[in-house]
């Protein structure tokens, strides 16, 4: 089965990577799909995020990286995927994720949403948390891959940490 793992990944974190690695053991192929969302002002361009994700997943041969816009379900159909992979951290994720899964189910009953529970150690982790820490000069070395930490420090001009 082919699974799509859609998201913003602005930037990708060790929490995302944990889901991707575990997903890659369950599915024949995992496509990490960066949503081109004109309503959000991201820290990194979609092209930069694609590059970051590719570097972070190069050890996983059945993981592919792509971007898309519009409906996730439509994108999944084009890719001939049967699964939307999503991560669940806490109850706060659950409500919105369940609503999204139900909505997508009304658009296509062929495509199933599969949730993976976050590994305990990453249950607090989000791209926003990473950006918040870095913005105030904290280290994010334990939260993202090394090359992404450098990208983030560069963005915030934290020369002391580079
Ligand atoms: N630390 C984490 N552990 C497990 N899943 C996560 C973690 N952080 C994010 N996710 C999941 O990864 C997916 C993409 O998240 P994100 O990049 O924030 O995009 P979105 O804009 O779709 O929320 C979502 O399913 C989210 O719940
Ligand atoms: Mg999110």
Could you read off the pLDDT of 109-136 as tens digits, one per residue?
A: 999 999 999 999 999 999 999 999 999 9
Residue 110: Cβ-neighbour burial (10 angstroms; 0-12, 13-18, 19+): exposed
CA dist., res. 19 & res. 60, Å (int): 12
**Cβ 11 under 6 angstroms from ligand 1:** no
**Catalytic residue set:** 16, 40, 89, 127
Residue 40 C-alpha to ligand 2 middle, in angstroms?
12
In a domain, 47, yes or no: yes
Contacts 24+ apart (CB under 8 A), 45-51: 48/151, 49/9, 49/10, 49/11, 49/12
Q: Is residue 162 part of a domain?
A: no
The pTM of this model reads: 0.94
Cα–Cα distances in angstroms (integers) from residue 38 to residues 34, 53, 57, 70, 98, in the given order: 12, 20, 26, 11, 24
> What CATH number is associated with residue 12?
3.40.50.620
Cα(38)–Cα(56) distance, integer angstroms: 25
> Is residue 147, in this structure, part of any structural domain at all?
no
Segment holding 92, helix H or strand E: helix 91-107
Expressed in angstroms and rounded, the spacing between residue 97 Cα and the centre of ligand 2 is 10
Give the model confidence (pLDDT) of 53-103 as tens digits: 999 999 999 999 999 999 999 999 999 999 999 999 988 889 999 999 999
Residue 93 lies in a domain: yes
Task: Say if 152 falls within a structural domain.
Answer: no
Question: How many H-runs (helices) and E-runs (strands) does the chain carry?
Answer: 6, 5
1 versus 90: the higher-pLDDT residue is 1
Domain count, the chain: 1
Is 19 touching ligand 1 by the criterion CB < 6 Å?
A: yes
Q: If pLDDT is split at 50, 70 and 90, which confidence band does 158 have?
A: low
Q: pLDDT tens, 63-73?
A: 999 999 999 99
- Domain encompassing residue 59: 2-121
89 domain-assigned: yes
Would the CB of 27 count as within 6 Å of ligand 1?
A: no
């Amino acid at each position: 089965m082919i699974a799509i793992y859609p998201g913003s990944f602005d930037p990708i974190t060790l929490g995302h990577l944990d889901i991707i690695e575990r997903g890659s053991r369950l599915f024949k192929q995992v496509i990490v799909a960066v949503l081109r969302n004109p309503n959000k002002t991201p820290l990194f361009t979609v092209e930069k995020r694609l590059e970051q994700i590719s570097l972070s997943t190069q050890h996983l041969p059945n993981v592919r990286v792509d971007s898309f816009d519009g409906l996730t379900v439509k994108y999944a159909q084009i890719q001939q995927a049967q699964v939307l992979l999503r991560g669940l951290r806490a109850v706060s994720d659950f409500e919105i994720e369940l609503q999204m899964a139900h909505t997508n189910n009304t658009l296509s009953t062929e495509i199933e949403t599969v949730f993976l529970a976050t590994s305990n150690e990453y249950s607090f982790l989000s791209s926003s948390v990473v950006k918040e820490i870095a913005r105030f000069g904290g280290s994010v070395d334990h939260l993202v891959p090394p090359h992404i930490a450098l990208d983030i420090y560069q963005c915030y001009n934290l020369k002391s940490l580079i």
